[in-house]
Amino acid sequence: MATSSDWAVEATGLVKIFGDNRAVDGVDLRVRTGSVYGVLGPNGAGKTTVIRMLATLLRPDAGHATVFGHDVQHEAQIVRQLIGVTGQYASVDETLSATENLVLFSRLNGLGRAESRAKANELLEEFGLTAAAKRPLKNFSGGMRRRLDLAASLISQPPLIFLDEPTTGLDPRTRSQMWDTIRRLVSTGSTVLLTTQYLDEADQLADRIAVIDTGRVVAEGTADELKSSVGKSSLQLRLVNPADRDDAVRAIRSVLGVDVTLSPEAARITAPMQDPDRITDLLVALREQNISLTELAVQKPTLDEVFLTLTGHGVETDAATQPDASETPKGRVNA
């Protein structure tokens, strides 16, 4: 490995302004070597702009960043040798086939002819692209391109890999395949900085997460730390009689000392709960008022709820880029 630095990325006060839009507005990031770091935020939050500055593709208007200790502006040549960028840029030749592209990448990375062909075949097999290997890239679907793009990054396997929304728009099967590949990249020595709009993806993959909203980091920590920032657990109640709602809310406020979230469903109430032991007290209070429940559950909060708490708004998902909902059940982060 080219460096022994503890920090793959150290950025302070990064700013990028487009016209009068402060797309990135003072971002600090520290990515430990050997980890997966997730930058989580909705469309337009500034994720790609941050990556482009760290990858020497865009000059920051203010702030400072290093990659393995090398300044991205003053040592851009060195930084470029330490990084790979995949994601929202097609780095491949449209007229060449998938095999030809991978052989070309291998050759550019110094592999011999036979070795390049073997490497290309191995990667095409791994990414389920063998059947399409001879087709020119211009006939590839978005998901196939994404897989080929990641396959190409495995050839050189640079010490730091930027993955810009690696699974946006992918079907569930390809998506979990990508997750496995990302884990493999890290277990074989790379550091990964990935951006995502998917809370479950950050939760599954990232050692640490920065939540970014309108160009600013609004929270940073492990998934568990972020989740505990909204309370250790949340209490979900469903009433037999929706008319009891106001009384139930009053009881929760007085016994647990917290504010509740009312769902559009009249009979359902959710409350943050710091101390699960207090449930007994609450149940006694509800019983005393003859309020009956059909359902009671205690759940750890989801990253969705964390995001809502931190930013005051939910993650606006774009139907076109959302993977199959069955792959992202809300409860999965609790498993």
Q: Which residues bind Mg ion (CB under 5 A)?
A: 47-48
Q: Return the residue of 5, 33, 48, 174 that touches ligand ADP, per CB under 6 A.
A: 48
Contact present, 238 and 293 (Cβ < 8 Å): yes
Binding partner at 21 among Mg ion, ligand ADP, none, C-beta below 5 to 8 Å by kind: ligand ADP
How many Cβ atoms from other residues are within 10 Å of residue 191's Cβ?
26
Contact present, 230 and 301 (Cβ < 8 Å): yes
313 by Cβ neighbours in 10 Å (0-12 / 13-18 / 19+) ranks as exposed
Query: With binding defined as CB under 6 A, does residue 49 bind ligand ADP?
Result: yes
* Smallest distance, ligand ADP to C-beta of residue 327, A: 21
Query: With binding defined as CB under 6 A, does residue 120 bind ligand ADP?
Result: no
Binding partner at 49 among Mg ion, ligand ADP, none, C-beta below 5 to 8 Å by kind: ligand ADP
Cα angle value 50/64/77 (rounded, 5°): 80
Q: Which residue has the tokens 């309108």?
A: 214
Tokens of 271: 């409350």
Map 58-109 to HEC letters: CCCCEEEEEECCEECCCCHHHHHHHEEEECCCCCCCCCCEHHHHHHHHHHHC
Q: Return the residue of 41, 272, 301, 323 that touches ligand ADP, per CB under 6 A.
A: 41
Of 47-55, 199-207, 244-252, 280-288, which part binds ligand ADP (CB under 6 A)?
A: 47-55
Binding partner at 41 among Mg ion, ligand ADP, none, C-beta below 5 to 8 Å by kind: ligand ADP
Cross-strand pairs, 86: 163
What does the alpha-carbon distance between residue 48 and residue 71 come to, in Å, rounded to a whole number? 19
Of 43-51, 60-68, 119-127, 305-313, which part binds ligand ADP (CB under 6 A)?
A: 43-51
Query: With binding defined as CB under 6 A, does residue 167 bind ligand ADP?
Result: no
* Smallest distance, ligand ADP to C-beta of residue 275, A: 37
Q: Which H or E element spans position 306?
A: helix 303-311
Query: With binding defined as CB under 6 A, does residue 35 bind ligand ADP?
Result: no
What does the alpha-carbon distance between residue 144 and residue 149 come to, in Å, rounded to a whole number? 8
Query: With binding defined as CB under 6 A, does residue 322 bind ligand ADP?
Result: no
Amino acid type, 221: G
Ranges of H-type helices in 198-288:
199-205, 223-228, 245-256, 279-288
Query: With binding defined as CB under 6 A, does residue 43 bind ligand ADP?
Result: yes
Residue 164 vs 203, nearer CB to ligand ADP: 164
Q: Which residue has the tokens 């006694």?
A: 284
Residue 246 vs 316, nearer CB to ligand ADP: 316
* Smallest distance, ligand ADP to C-beta of residue 23, A: 3
Residue 213 vs 244, nearer CB to ligand ADP: 213
How many residues lie near ligand ADP (CB under 6 A)? Answer: 11
Of 38-46, 77-85, 121-129, 262-270, which part binds ligand ADP (CB under 6 A)?
A: 38-46
Of 40-48, 94-102, 168-176, 255-263, which part binds ligand ADP (CB under 6 A)?
A: 40-48
Map 279-290 to HEC letters: HHHHHHHHHHCC
Binding partner at 44 among ligand ADP, Mg ion, none, C-beta below 5 to 8 Å by kind: ligand ADP
Residue 49 vs 233, nearer CB to Mg ion: 49
Query: With binding defined as CB under 6 A, does residue 23 bind ligand ADP?
Result: yes
Q: What is the largest CA-CA distance in the chain?
A: 80
Q: Return the residue of 11, 25, 46, 271 that touches ligand ADP, per CB under 6 A.
A: 46
What does the alpha-carbon distance between residue 116 and residue 102 come to, in Å, rounded to a whole number? 8
What does the alpha-carbon distance between residue 192 and residue 157 come to, in Å, rounded to a whole number? 11
Query: With binding defined as CB under 6 A, does residue 294 bind ligand ADP?
Result: no
Q: Which residues make up the interface to ligand ADP (CB under 6 A)?
A: 18, 21, 23, 41, 43-49
